[in-house]
Structure 1
Amino acid sequence: MRSENSHLLVVGSGIAGLYGALLAAESGMRVTLLTKGALAQSNTHHAQGGICAVLGPDDAAPGDTVQAHIADTLVAGAGQCDPEAVRILCSEAAADIAALERFGVVFDRNLATGKRALGLEGAHSAARILHAGGDATGAVIADGLIAAVRDAAGLGLITVLEHCFVTELLGTDAALDGMHDAGTSHRAAIAGLAYLNAADERHTLCADAVLLASGGAGQLFEFTTNPAVATGDGVALAWRAGATVGDLEYFQFHPTALAVGSNFLISEAVRGAGAVLRDGAGERFMPRYHPEGDLAPRDVVSRSIAAHLAATGQDTVYLDATGVEEAQGPGYLARRFPTIDAATAALGFDWSRQWLPVAPAAHYWMGGIATDLDGRSSLPGLYAAGEAACTGVHGANRLASNSLLEGLVFGRRAVADFVAAAAAGTSHWPTLPIVPRTLPGGELSGGTVPESAVTRAELSRSELRHLLSSQAGVVRDAAGLRQAATALAGALPEAQGTRRKEAEDNNLRLVAHLLVQAALVRENSVGAHYRSDFPQPPVPVPSGPARDSHFWFNPAPTLTPAQPQRESETV
């Protein structure tokens, strides 16, 4: 790696990508930030509840500690977290919160004390959720970081390429010799990427490293809180290039999305403030299913809603926040949750007086590109951070408001590793301490169809989303997963696609197949992965089972060598 002005390509404009790009630019690196939409189109911008951190002794909630945050994260993750990754996340949180404020992000303050206001959410043992703009935390954070990125771009420190869809990771010439380490995935180095601009014209960029921070894949499902851009592109790119992926079966469903309109998220902070779930008969049913009731971990609440509807024959449940308004006084909900208040009012609800119909919706993918504690993937030159990555922090179920924090902490650690390597002039890239396996569904490089797929059938995006929702959603079983696997195997693309919509659909089909195959392999129920044919006790053991993450690699990667760029092609 070059020691001067090394070039980092950052893909994605959520919290991990924006923050990483800014830190790399501050360190003197040459930075290009690409995003397939506008900078504000990200899951980060949609996040309502907040970002959790145990601040200094004078700012934390009484009795709260970093160790308590660690313990809560491990319990929510059902024993499937990497303890060291969790320790790093929680112990380094306060410093990254301070860095956010340095970049212009302003968190809400308690009017009486002047300290940062702290909220409570499900599965947290103390109030440690920082919020901004009431319930617009993600938007405030994203807008602050975007403004800082725009300023850096104006100074020539960051090149911003919006509406650019990355279609391929490019490798070094070593990609041609099939270089592998025994028992590990493909080890060719990543040296750039190819992308389509807004006119679907193909361009390439060379660089010293790529940071994939491209977000999640909520568009796999019919009901999702994710924006339209969340189509699993980063995982698809990394898989095709030969990177190891992991924990793909763990997809979290948020229990309280509005059951009308466009699945608008009702933040978990509302239940933290005292709102409760009720069925059509008015029963507050969650205490039936878990001792923590309405503040149980998200996977438990989503699964309990499904179980309760099946048991009672009802078709919907409701979120009752009227007691919060009564306890806190008139106008409290509108002041504390202005975004939710406006959205529900636009749909004709007065949630200070009415219950809101809610349903679980696809929200967050715990699985992704496997990385070490410094954001390094199994491919030299490829970093990953945020929802596209699998750091081991979330285990089988993400603790509320840990996602924005993960993007900060591990986005920063990835950039720090890149900067340190550039300063040392080294290209050393350690091998991940895992042994990935080949998925039983066959070679899924995007060009090879398993032999079991006798015929090829078109599968539209709406059909794919219905298939995944019905067969790989909150509750799964072998029969449904096999049905989905067969349909998806017959719909795998023969090529990556040369137009944006085609390429995006192909990414969705590929990551859908990966998720389904991983879910078939895991013949037990843990966290967000619930197999009705392998049921777990209604109240899981707090520590959960021992961690046994599954990691996978593509035995037939497709990696095009990066070509030296002409001066006119550089940015």
Structure 2
Amino acid sequence: MVLGTEKKGATSFAAFEAQPGSGDIVIIGAGLAGLFTALKLAPLPVTVIAAAPLGEGASSMWAQGGIAAAVGEGDSTDKHAADTIEAGGGIVDTAVAKIVAHEGPDRIRDLLTYGVPFDRDLEGHYILSKEAAHSEKRVVRVSGDRAGAAIMQALIAAVRATPSIRVLEGYEADDLISSNGRVEGVRLIRAEPLGGGSFVFVPASAVVLATGGVGALFALTTNPSYAKGEAIAMAARAGAVIADPEFVQFHPTAIDAGIDPAPLATEALRGEGAILVNSDGHRFMLDIDPRGELAPRDIVARTVHNELLAGRSVYLDCRESIGAHFEAEFPTVWSHCQRAGIDPTKELIPVAPAEHYHMGGIATDVRGRTSLVGLWAVGEVASTGLHGANRLASNSLLEAVVFGARVAADIRSGLQGIRIGHIVEPRRVSPPLPVDMAIRDKLMSELRNVMTTYVGVERSAKGLRTALLRLKELEAVSEDDTVLANMILTARLIAMAALFRRESRGGHYRVDYPETNPALAQRTFMTIDDLEMVEPIATPPPLEIAPAACHP
């Protein structure tokens, strides 16, 4: 494992040459990144693999705040890039930040052509909001907090209307198939209740991973249950370089109502003046940072976490700042509150930090290429260097569309002359080994508890070594369950990188190394071989945490 830029191919990404007739372009994942990439590849033949019906399993669907882009008066792409670099804790790839910021306005226009109804005033100007660490109002929204759902609905309609895109719903990627040093296809699993119960192999001329994040590895998360981080493990097993896995962003204001996944109270609420108070009625954020509730997310999340550890409940107070306009301006959060039995116009909203976004992932270059020939990654599963140690609010949707377009352009450049039309069909290769779902659920619950307890908002060497030992024990009893095995491998990569980063930076906070070390202002690059670099502690303490809680 290396902190720096010369790591096992991390800066020398795989070349790509077309293999005519070897298969469709296969995109694993049907969130914003996957669908946008598919649309940009048209009319080349694309097969999109969706674990759930389109729109039901994607984190993009749940994005509330919006998509950041420098489209407002007085703003500029240079300012946006500078804010991104500032928020990223000293390890943002500045070239990537400039690319994403400068190409952002064009991608907003692309989304408009696909029918996304961004909020505008009577003169046609975008209605923009300001979120934490942005120097300008630049978050483009839809119906207040419905940006993710609106964008996804528009793209789903466009995909359904594009003949060159085939969608296979109800399949999950199980493994990458490689031969002669290149990725040549994917192995899928279709669950028995969906009419499958067997492995399926799909050959591919190119494979794009767009599977989202790692939220389901943690006990409290805002991500859908499909965000298990499996693609990171599949790529790592195939030999891919993984970058910055230790950097996990915890959203400070998940609604703490015992719902899994936890509903999100968007940061835009705080942008409109909502404040955080504890059970004593004290507005505690001003004691920590002059920016108060609009301090960077890692600071807010850690402060909320410590309030909860001290036995004080934390609430979001929207009564004066938003009040009677809540339902009209933030309909998604309103519905979440109603589901939890809360009237935010009159009552405080209980909140807690929840895993929200993974800044790390499969290392890619500016074209979205991984270190493996024939494999690209885009969206949250990728680590482009844009987010550094701490993602700037609402930059994730922007990264997905900017790199979706770049991945499509790169693949298109290598596939000129490939015939149009689907040239392969999935073929069954073998039945999967039977999985005891009760055992899987039990082991998955323990995995999520381990990650939240020892690899969560605050970390220590002792806790991380404990986590590594627990995960190794879980791995030993889950070898026949590929889903669980992939989740555990990704969790081990996160914990190992966190153990080796002996400092605090962005979303990674070490209580035993609370200061940022300027000498470590470098990215992490690692492979699966690095997991054997250290032995965890011999006897871990007993595990004590309730699955859906993050405070006593």
- Range class of TM-score, shorter chain: 0.7 to 0.9
Other structure's SS at 1:511 match: helix
CA drift of 1:214 comes to 0.5
In structure 2, C-alpha distance between the alignment counterparts of 1:321 and 1:495, rounded to whole Å: 45
Change (3 A) 1:86 1:546: farther
The percent of aligned pairs where both chains have the same amino acid is: 41
Task: Report the 3-state secondary structure (helix = DSSP H, G, I; strand = E; otherwise coil) of the residue aligned with 1:32.
Answer: strand
> How far apart, in 2, do the equivalents of 1:136 and 1:362 lie?
20
Q: How does 1:147-186 map to 2 (within 5 A)?
A: 147-152=157-162, 155=163, 157-172=164-179, 174=180
The Cα of 1:490 is off from its aligned counterpart by 1.8
Alignment match, 1:548: 522
Supply the AA of the counterpart residue of 1:384. Answer: A
Mean CA deviation greater in 503-512 or 204-213: 503-512
- The number of equivalent residue pairs is 486
* 2-structure distance, mates of 1:169, 1:550: 24
CA displacement at 1:324 relative to structure 2: 1.2
CA contact (8 A) 2:23 2:203 kept: no
Q: How far apart are residue 13 of structure 1 and its match?
A: 0.5
**How far does residue 496 in structure 1 lie from its aligned partner after superposition?**
6.1
- Indicate yes or no: 2:383 matched with 1:383: no
Match 2:253 to one of 250, 256, 263: 256
Question: What is the match of residue 273 of structure 2?
Answer: 274
Match of 1:462 among 424, 429, 445: 445
- What corresponds to 1:453 in structure 2? none
- Structure 2 SS opposite 1:206: strand
CA distance in 2 between partners of 1:44 and 1:86 (Å) = 21
Identify unmatched segments of 5+ residues in structure 1. Answer: 175-187, 426-456, 558-571
**Alignment-derived partner of residue 289 in structure 1:** 288
1:513 paired with 2:492, answer yes
- One-letter identity of the residue aligned with 2:64: Q
- Displacement after TM superposition at 1:459 (Å): 6.8
Instruction: Give matches, 1:179-258, under 5 Å.
Output: 188-198=181-191, 199-258=196-255
Cα distance in 2, alignment partners of residues 65 and 493 from structure 1: 52
- Structure-1 residue corresponding to 2:510: 531
Q: What do the CA deviations read for 1:440-489 (whole angstroms, capped 9, x no partner)?
A: xxxxxxxxxxxxxxxxx997111111111111100000111111111111
Q: Secondary structure at the match of 1:506?
A: helix
Please state whether the residue corresponding to 1:21 is helix, strand or coil. helix
Distance 1:273 1:525, change over 3 A: same
Equivalent position of 2:461 in the other structure: 478
The SS at the match of 1:322 is coil
User: CA contact under 8 A between 1:21 and 1:33: conserved in structure 2?
Assistant: yes
Counterpart contact for 2:241–2:363, Cα < 8 Å: yes
1:133 aligns with 2:150: no
Task: Give secondary structure in 2 for the equivalent of 1:9.
Answer: strand
Deviation for aligned residue 1:5? 10
Partner AA of 1:302 in structure 2: A
Task: List structure 1 runs of 4+ shifted beyond 6 angstroms.
Answer: 3-6
TM-score, normalised with respect to structure 1: 0.82
Report how far residue 555 of structure 1 moved. 4.0
Is 1:395 the counterpart of 2:410 in the alignment? no
State the match for 1:24 in structure 2: 41
Between the aligned partners of 2:152 and 2:197, the Cα distance in structure 1 is 27
Q: Aligned partners of 1:272, 1:210: CA distance in 2, in Å?
A: 39
Aligned to 1:48: 64
Shift of 1:51: 0.5
Q: Give the secondary structure class of the aligned counterpart of 2:160.
A: helix
Q: Is the 8 A contact 1:5 1:30 kept in 2?
A: no
**Aligned equivalents of 2:334, 2:222: Cα separation in 1:** 17
**CA deviation after TM superposition for structure 1 residue 66, in Å:** 1.1
Distance 1:202 1:81 in 2: 40
- Aligned-residue offset at 1:383: 0.1
How big is each residue's C-alpha offset from its partner over 1:158-216, in whole Å with a ceiling of 9 and x where there is no partner? 111011111111122x1xxxxxxxxxxxxx11111111123221111111110000111
SS at match of 1:202: strand
Alpha-carbon shift at residue 494 of structure 1 (Å) = 7.3
Query: What one-letter code is carried by the residue in structure 1 that aligns with 2:286?
Result: P
- SS in structure 2 of the partner of residue 256 of structure 1: strand
Give the alignment partner of residue 335 of structure 1, picking from 306, 310, 328: 328
Structure 2 equivalent of residue 361 of structure 1: 354
CA change 1:495–1:356 in 2 (3 A) is closer
Q: For residue 307 of structure 1, report the CA deviation from its aligned partner.
A: 2.9
Instruction: Name the TM-score, length of structure 2 as normaliser.
Output: 0.84
Q: Is the 8 A contact 1:107 1:131 kept in 2?
A: yes
- Check conservation: 2:64, 2:146, Cα contact below 8 A: yes
Which residue in 2 is equivalent to 1:89?
Answer: 100
CA distance in 2, matches of 1:114, 1:458: 50
Whether the aligned pair in 1 keeps the contact of 2:460 and 2:512 (CA below 8 Å) is: yes
Q: Distance in 2 between matches of 1:23 and 1:252?
A: 29
Q: What SS does the aligned partner of 1:342 have?
A: helix
Tell whether 2:111 aligns with 1:100.
yes
Deviations, residues 391-440 of structure 1 (Å, cap 9, x unaligned): 00000011110001111011110110000112389xxxxxxxxxxxxxxx
**Structure 1 residue 276 displacement after superposition:** 0.8
Amino acid at match of 1:492: E
User: Contact between 1:80 and 1:545, CA under 8 Å: does it hold in 2?
Assistant: no
* Secondary structure, counterpart of 2:397 in structure 1: helix
* TM superposition shift of 1:545: 6.9
RMSD between aligned residues:
2.1
What is the SS of the residue equivalent to 1:492? helix
Structure 1 residue 106, shift from structure 2 partner: 1.1
Shift of 1:261: 3.5
Using the TM superposition, name which of 366-375 and 283-292 deviates more: 283-292
1:404 pairs, out of 385, 394, 397, with 397
Provide the residue aligned with 1:504 in structure 2: 483
Amino acid at match of 1:19: F
Unpaired runs of 5+ residues, structure 2, are 1-17, 419-439, 532-552
Q: Is contact 1:169-1:192 (8 Å) kept?
A: yes
Cα drift, residue 316 of structure 1? 1.5
Separation of aligned partners in 2, 1:66 and 1:556: 38
| Range moving further from structure 2, 386-395 or 259-268 | 259-268
Change in Cα spacing, 1:3 to 1:201, as seen in structure 2 (3 Å) is closer
User: Which residue type is aligned with residue 527 of structure 2?
Assistant: F
The verdict on how the C-alpha distance between 1:322 and 1:113 changes in structure 2, with shifts beyond 3 A counting, is farther
**Using the alignment, how far apart are the partners of 1:14 and 1:240 within structure 2?**
24
